[in-house]
Amino acid sequence: MLDLPPLARFGDRLATGLLDVTSDPAALESEGFWAVCAAFEGGLTCARFAEVRTEPVPVPTPGKWRGPAVGDWTSSLDRAAYTTGVRRIRAHIAAGEVYQANLCRVLTAPIGPGADVDALTALLARGNPAPYAGTVRLPEHGVEIATASPELFLRRDGRTVESGPIKGTGRTEADLLEKDYAENVMIVDLVRNDLGRVCATGTVTVPDLCAVEKHPGLVHLVSTVRGELPADAGWPELLDAAFPPGSVTGAPKSSALRIIDALETAPRGPYCGGVGWVDADRGTGGLAVGIRTFWIERAADGAARLRFGTGAGITWGSDPEGEWRETELKAARLLAVASGAYEVHATGEALAT
């Protein structure tokens, strides 16, 4: 097992001194600061840390991270399989079984046994900064995740909860199609329904609908859904109502999950799950949707693999080749960060060479 101390980073918040680890969401209503990782398939890891301090993500150290070559990545679905999957989803839509379903693929590449996900975090922070970036390093518990997520899954401040579903992606705002706006509205309705299952009646609102957000190399359509938890509901009830995130499943969620299970050939794991933190003492927390996310898996013999997921929401208006290109667009910059050779310039930027 790699001898690296447990830690968690969220923005400039660094947590160290691991106290305990549990899969019980009720722990998030107890006390202390928790790092939270929820796999798409349902596994939950909650890790409580003793010390939390403000510390910026370190500047990348040349040679500390040795990622795979760009050509080393393999995909759980190749281009032919992915475009066939898009056509099958369109057939399900034509049959009235689903309105939208997210189709994803998982990319895998071998990596050195000494790879440290926190060194990758340093590169991501400069090569692809993201509002919900986070890192959880728990090698003894099989959790080594670095996310550059742009998407808010759940934010909680006391009884107020928010979700920020993303649907609609283009290189520029001009690339966004009517299909993107329609897809966003469909998922907003789904998220409203999810939060409505746990929030007090009449409190669920949509303060922002289809706002355009700019991110490195692309733009997204983002909406905001907000609600108020009743006194008898907390993190266990909230996660039960909202998980997995609606933006990476589809609508209706139950039908989309059944179709995803039939079409995808690799588990998503932390990709499309939830990654974030909970401060149980203050009643606050923030979980990102685990997109733009890398994670390391280690075998008993010490061999390690780096994984990364990418996908797209499929609707009746989807073009199979266009959806494949969207998955490529979402992955391109991040794979370059993880796979390239880097120089650290005087500005602190890490640039591919």
Q: Which residues are catalytic?
A: 151, 167
Q: How far apart are the first and last CA of the chain?
A: 32
Long-range contact set of residues 198-204: C-beta below 8 Å, sequence gap at least 24: 198/227, 198/229, 198/233, 198/237, 198/238, 198/240, 198/241, 198/242, 199/161, 199/227, 199/228, 199/229, 199/230, 199/233, 200/227, 200/228, 200/229, 200/230, 203/227, 203/228
The beta strands (E) that lie in the chain are given as 7-10, 13-22, 33-38, 44-54, 74-75, 100-111, 132-138, 143-149, 152-157, 160-164, 166-170, 205-215, 218-228, 250-251, 274-279, 284-289, 293-298, 304-314, 342-344, 350-352
Residue 334's region, left for phi above 0, alpha for psi from -120 to 50, else beta, is: alpha
Q: For residue 114, give every residue at least 6 positions away whose Cβ sits within 8 Å of its Cβ, in sequence order, or none.
A: 2
The span from the CA of 234 to the CA of 62, in Å, is: 44
Three-state SS at 146: strand
Q: Of 160, 265, 148, 257, which Cα lies nearest the Cα of 207?
A: 160
Q: Of 269, 257, 247, 303, which Cα lies nearest the Cα of 112?
A: 303
What backbone phi and psi angles, to 5 degrees, belong to 283?
Answer: 70, 30
What count of other Cβ atoms lies within 10 Å of the Cβ of residue 59?
12
The secondary structure of residue 112, as a DSSP letter, is: -
